[in-house]
Amino acid sequence: MSARSWLFVPGDSDRKLAKGAGSAADALIIDLEDSVAPANLPAARSRAAAFLAAQAGRAAPELWVRVNALESGLALPDLAAVVPAGPAGIVLPKAGSAADVVTLSNYLSALEVAAGRPEGGTKIMVVATETPAALFTLGSYAAAGPRLAGLTWGAEDLAASLGAAGNRLEGGGYEFTYQLARSLCLAGAASAGVAPIDTVFTDFRDLAGLEAEARAARRAGFVGKLAIHPDQADIINRAFTPDAAEIAHAERVIAAFAANPGAGVVGIDGKMIDMPHLKQAHRILAAGRRPA
């Protein structure tokens, strides 16, 4: 089961690392990229490795590391610093296509074997929409190999590389280009059979706005959302967990089909319920079955 809330923690801040470990987030993404000033990167690498080692054996939160982009020349030293400490996974920013996941997988294999860790143990999530060219390769990820666990999307770097002044409309919703990126990420993840994770909500004091965006993301098919502040984790967890009414309805759908073996379609409360609804009901029960 994929994590619901993924909290970014700047890798150069011991205070935030400690705070993140005690937060409600299902997963932390220890950041070595955009939230770390270049001068602090060497220190952030060793802090991240020390934090991973100190947290080893704790079941929650899952610990991931966002490394720098492959083209930056910084990704290999980032990986060499943290992979021996056994993160659950690596978040790859500015990914171009599945080919980047294959390259990263090869790096990970070498580092895992060198460190005496099981080869293939480190998972990968990509930020799949941060460059204009990446918008044309979202269908490639089915060929990314078994390490790929999720796709997420980014609207900030995409706006910067498109030369946009902003990515939101005046009413607050995303401008069309970013809605397109979001939908392509969702379809790319579904076609690759991996978890679609919604992007950050940057206005971290607006918890009502976060909740609305997170609920809309779950309705659309996303199974989790990135976070930038510990206060966002609880809201995201709740938004991505089915409530009692949804679970009761899903149970009724499953029971109706069980009571009518061989039926392809049944009626519940005057509504047609067929195979897509049954599939959805099983998904809701699976999502509701996580330990609190």
* Cα–Cα distance list, 79 to 111, 179, 185, 262 (Å): 8, 32, 25, 52
Q: Which does 157 bind (CB under 5 to 8 A by kind): Mg ion, ligand COA, none?
A: Mg ion
| Count of positions on this chain that bind Mg ion (CB under 5 A) | 2
Least distance (Å) from ligand COA to the CB of residue 218? 21
Query: Which one, 31 or 112, has the nearer CB to ligand COA?
Result: 31
Task: Give the separation between CA 214 and CA 69, rounded to whole angstroms.
Answer: 27
Residues in 142-181 that interact with Mg ion by CB under 5 A: 157
Of the candidates 125, 117, 72, the one whose C-alpha atom is nearest the C-alpha of residue 101 is 125
Least distance (Å) from ligand COA to the CB of residue 232? 9
Residues in 5-34 that interact with Mg ion by CB under 5 A: 34
Task: Give the ranges where the chain is alpha helix by DSSP (H).
Answer: 14-21, 41-55, 75-82, 98-114, 156-162, 176-192, 207-220, 231-239, 244-259, 275-288
Q: Which does 251 bind (CB under 5 to 8 A by kind): Mg ion, ligand COA, none?
A: none
Least distance (Å) from ligand COA to the CB of residue 236? 13
Q: Which does 89 bind (CB under 5 to 8 A by kind): ligand COA, Mg ion, none?
A: none
Query: Which one, 83 or 233, has the nearer CB to ligand COA?
Result: 233
Task: Give the separation between CA 258 and CA 268, rounded to whole angstroms.
Answer: 13
Least distance (Å) from Mg ion to the CB of residue 54? 27
Q: Cβ of 279: how many Cβ atoms within 10 Å? A: 11
Q: What is the DSSP string of 127-160?
A: ETTSSTGGGG-GGGGGGS-TTEEEEE--SHHHHH
Of the candidates 144, 234, 138, the one whose C-alpha atom is nearest the C-alpha of residue 181 is 138
Least distance (Å) from ligand COA to the CB of residue 287? 25
Query: Which one, 24 or 104, has the nearer CB to Mg ion?
Result: 104
Query: Which one, 111 or 138, has the nearer CB to Mg ion?
Result: 138
* Cα–Cα distance list, 196 to 50, 112, 178, 226 (Å): 30, 26, 15, 11
Least distance (Å) from Mg ion to the CB of residue 114? 29
Q: Which does 9 bind (CB under 5 to 8 A by kind): Mg ion, ligand COA, none?
A: ligand COA
Rule CB under 6 A: which residues touch ligand COA?
Answer: 7-10, 15-16, 19-20, 31, 34-35, 200, 204, 228-230
Query: Which one, 4 or 229, has the nearer CB to ligand COA?
Result: 229
- Phi and psi based region of residue 262 (left: phi greater than 0; alpha: psi -120 to 50; beta: remaining): left
Query: Which one, 200 or 281, has the nearer CB to ligand COA?
Result: 200
